[in-house]
Structure 1
Amino acid sequence: MSISEYLLSISSKKIKYGLKRTKELLHACNNPQKKVYSIQVVGTNGKGSVSAMLSSVLEKGGYSVGLFTSPHLVSVNERIRINSDMIKNKHIKSFIEKYEDSIKLIQPSFFELLTVISIWYFEKQKVDFCILETGLGGRYDSVTACDNAGIIFTPISMDHHSLLGNTISLIATDKSMAINNNTEFVFSSKQNQRVMQILCKRAYLHNLKIIFANNEKPTIILDYLYGKHQLENAMLVIKCVNYLNNKEIINLNERQITDGLKKTVWFGRFHILQAQPTIIFDVAHNKSSLKSFLESFNSYLEINKFERKYLLCAFENNKKIRSILKNFENKFDYIVCSETNIRDSMPSNEIAKIFRNKDKTKIIKNIDESIGYCIKNTKKSDVLVILGSHFIAPAINTFFKNCFALDNKRLLT
């Protein structure tokens, strides 16, 4: 069995709750989390972008940075990187072979196993810092078991209702539990009043005060990330970096911070795949991220004119997106509804029901066929937006070879 097949065999199993298995597996490999300096990124939207920005800034300062993110776009190796270089299969294989008995005994979930592999690998490679993106929630997420020195909260909103709770208070409470006795500092983006109260209460219990990045806006221009929300993410990272500088944990100058932010690459976020026709891919998949994308797209249309606008969308099921998705209808001339290649995909006919104008709405269930159809019908003067899920990425990669490779950066011009 190959490494991919082995990991996928675990991936097909159910989500498991609790930190017990992660802590046991970390203990089995000599507690690598106690030998690294890690920062955990928690939230609903923007976790990946903030993690990538912080990693890029630290790397620009000459530090070795381990980055653990999820989900991946094409390859599971994307989830574990050091200074942008993905982990090689030989390292994953080495871990699995070395701790095979412990894995069988503990039976970690797919995400738990990858979390521990990442920390083990980062410690083995002697990185200076680890940036760890939380997978889901905070209370029981395996990243929370990693004795993180710092916590960064990105915007918290409604998502994963069936797992975290059906109110913003329940979701925020779950995420706030990432703060624990190991936490030394906490930063947060601007949050709504109720979320802010919940986070501050949790921090107070641990004698901590949260530093919020509220309305400040950086003056920098991001080369590869687009939208007001990304500038807000950048401000959050600047706050954290300034703190680390002031505490003499790092030593970065303003130029290094600015360059690190400017050059951050994080695919699948207003990701321009090509020009003429312009094709944009975005993994926005919940109400808040879809709203942010629509705001960014409106700004983009102010400086870029197109003859026709196509939307291809596919989503995972159980997403409460009906109300925000209705706002997309008037922005596009043609809408193609498709499905992700996963068992929990939202049926394409259900997506189509959201849109009132049936004349400009088309259902093509197969994602490869839907992408092919849109590419065939768009002219050089048109724009195509592919929207809705990380799980669309493998299909996109077959049409735009290596579009997610780090040496294939595209300017937003």
Structure 2
Amino acid sequence: MTYEQTLDFLYSKLPMYQRVGKQAYKKDLTNTLKLMELLDNPHQKFKSVHIAGTNGKGTSAHGIAAILQTAGYNVGLYTSPHLKSFTERIRINGNEVSKEFVVDFVARIKPAVEKIQPSFFEITVAMAFDYFAREEVDIAVIETGLGGRLDSTNVIVPEVSLITNIGYDHMDMLGDTLDKIAAEKAGIIKKHVPVVIGETLPETAPVFEQIAENNEAVLIKAGLPSYKTKGLVPSYLIKNLGGIESVINELVRQGWEVSSDDVSEGLSGINELTGLKGRFQILTDSPLTIADVSHNVDGLKILFNQVVALCSGQLHLVFGTVKDKELTPIFNIFPKDASIYWTQSSVPRALEVEELAIQGLMHQMEGECFKDVNEAIKNATAKAQSNDLILVTGSTFVVAEVSSL
């Protein structure tokens, strides 16, 4: 198969959460373990850091990887979903996995796919682990998909785990209360493996403490960060600095060699080092246009607060989302007096722009409708003054379709 045929096989033949929603979510590790056995258990052949959480896990993964790269280590990085290219999901020292490896891997396991019937995510996790083992990375930073306990990545035994925070997202699969969601995320806590908790709440702290105790795992509560970064530090990164620093401190305690200069340089160069995209990413300077993949209440609240503080003129909000999202809490935190441009992505899960506009009107919010995000941005740019700010957000898939990203 060619690379394009291989991607078509992955996208069309395997259930993919990003496209079809929760019917792609597999609630056990059976398929992943079968794939691991088929591949001679690559997950046991490299050291790792494992990250779960509602918000900030991707940011934290990229931050930790950037620091370890700066310290001179050969660092694997597995994150999801991708924005522009499938190969973004699997990197070593910021370099994406080759298309040739993707084709070869799928060809190797294709005979077993019919029998095992894995999901898209299970296949990509297996691909990442096989790649990291073959390339003999010093350490891999692994981000969970949805939950933790039953997430396909949860077959690894890391050096340290990180749970960034807990918020209301994917409640139809993870539970409808913070303590239930926390219990699912805390499923990444392993026997005798230290776990860093980036943020604790009254509802979640007892859950983490109990599960850590059951696993005889040292529980580390992240404090305020002690190091500095250069330039504008987006709020999403500030919120995760304590957890990132605590993970690095634990690795240093275990014998990994990382200096304070490695930390500050790594975080300051996070985009260049790891290829981080779509998180407070500046597209143009005048008017200031920012794209950000935040898509739930907690993440959007932080994002909105920062752009409102930055904007000296009118805020233009280009917003699209997915069908299975509870919108009332999100609409309740929309910036006041923003000019709204409703839009949608082209994935099947996208909420159609007309329906989004209707729901907006029910919350006394009027906006123009655009079926294409780039048309929405073009219209916002035409109306914006030089001191205005344009924000593109609401869905990973909306941001992924921004042509200038």
Return the match for 2:254 from 235, 247, 258.
247
How far apart, CA to CA, are the structure 2 residues paired with 1:94 and 1:365? 37
Q: Distance in 1 between matches of 2:12 and 2:249?
A: 43
SS in 2 for 1:252: coil
Alpha-carbon distance in structure 2 between the residues aligned to 1:11 and 1:154 = 29
Change (3 A) 1:52 1:4: same
Q: Is the 8 A contact 1:222 1:263 kept in 2?
A: no
Q: Structure 1 runs of 4+ off > 4 angstroms?
A: 222-225, 355-360
Aligned length: 390
**Helix, strand or coil for the counterpart of 1:191?**
coil
Tell me the residue number matched to 1:3: 6
Q: 1:217·1:232 contact (CA, 8 Å) conserved in 2?
A: no
The answer as to whether partners of 2:51 and 2:142 remain within 8 angstroms in 1 is yes
Identify if the C-alpha distance between structure 1 residues 355 and 275 changes in structure 2 by more than 3 Å, giving closer, same or farther.
Answer: farther
Say if 1:11 and 1:294 are closer, same or farther in 2 by CA, change over 3 A: farther
Residue 208 of structure 2: aligned partner: 199
What is residue 35 of structure 2 aligned with on the other side? 25
Q: Name the SS for the 1:177 alignment partner.
A: helix
The answer to whether structure 1 residue 186 and structure 2 residue 195 are counterparts is: yes
Establish whether residue 66 from structure 1 lines up as the match of residue 76 from structure 2.
Answer: yes
Task: State the match for 2:348 in structure 1.
Answer: 343
Give the match's secondary structure for 1:372.
Answer: helix
| 1:216-274 Cα distance to aligned partner (Å, 9 max, x none) | 143412547511x41231221111111111221x1111111211112112321211111
1:319-366, CA deviations, whole angstroms, 9 ceiling, x for partnerless residues?
Answer: 22423423324141x111112222222233443333578685222233
| Deviation by residue 1:263-306 (Cα, 9 ceiling, x = unmatched) | 112321211111111111111111100111122223323xxx22
**Cα distance in structure 2, aligned partners of 1:15 and 1:48:** 19
Instruction: Provide the rounded CA distance (Å) in 1 between the counterparts of 2:102 and 2:245.
Output: 33
CA distance in 2: counterparts of 1:103 and 1:176, whole angstroms: 30
CA contact (8 A) 2:54 2:166 kept: yes
Q: Is the 8 A contact 1:322 1:354 kept in 2?
A: no
SS of match in other structure, 2:334: helix
Shift in Å, 1:156: 0.8
Query: What is the CA distance between 1:170 and its match in structure 2?
Result: 1.4
What does the per-residue CA deviation read over 1:368-394, in whole Å, with 9 as the maximum and x for residues that have no partner?
Answer: 432332233334332211111110134
C-alpha RMSD of matched pairs (Å): 2.0
Aligned match for 2:89, one of 79, 86, 98: 79
CA–CA distance in structure 1, aligned partners of residues 67 and 365 of structure 2: 48
Residues 115 and 359 of structure 1, relative CA distance in 2, 3 Å threshold: closer
Deviations 1:148-183 (A, max 9, x none): 3321000111100111111112111111112233x5
User: Residue in 2 aligned with 1:406?
Assistant: none
Alignment correspondent of 2:243: 236
Contact kept in structure 2, 1:223 and 1:263, CA below 8 Å: no
Report what 1:220 is aligned to: 228
The separation in 1 between residues aligned to 2:44 and 2:304, in whole angstroms, is 42
Contact kept, 8 Å, 2:49 with 2:141, in 1: the verdict is yes
Any stretches of 5+ residues in structure 1 without a counterpart?
404-413
Q: Confirm or deny: 8 A CA contact 2:287 2:387 kept in the other structure.
A: yes
8 Å contact 1:272–1:280 — kept in the other structure?
yes
Q: Where does residue 397 of structure 2 map in the other structure? A: 391
Could you say which residue in structure 2 is the equivalent of 1:261?
267
1:91 is aligned to 2:101? yes
The aligned counterpart of 1:407 is none
Percent same amino acid among aligned pairs? 26
Residues 364-379 of structure 1: matches in 2 within 5 Å?
364-379=370-385
Query: 320, 324, 332: which one pairs with 1:318?
Result: 324
Q: Deviations over 1:33-77 (max 9, x none)?
A: 111101110000000000000000000000000000001111110
**d(CA) in 1 for partners of 2:246 and 2:395?**
30
1:121 paired with 2:131, answer yes
- Structure 1 distance, partners of 2:346, 2:219, is 40
Distance 1:158 1:358, change over 3 A: closer
Amino acid at match of 1:218: S
* AA of the residue aligned to 1:198: V
Residue 336 of structure 1 aligns to a residue whose secondary structure is: strand
Measure, in 2, the Cα distance between the counterparts of 1:102 and 1:217: 47
Contact 1:18 1:141 in 2 (8 A): yes
- After TM superposition, give the deviation of residue 79 of structure 1 in Å: 0.3
Please report the TM-score for the alignment, with normalisation by the length of structure 1. Answer: 0.89
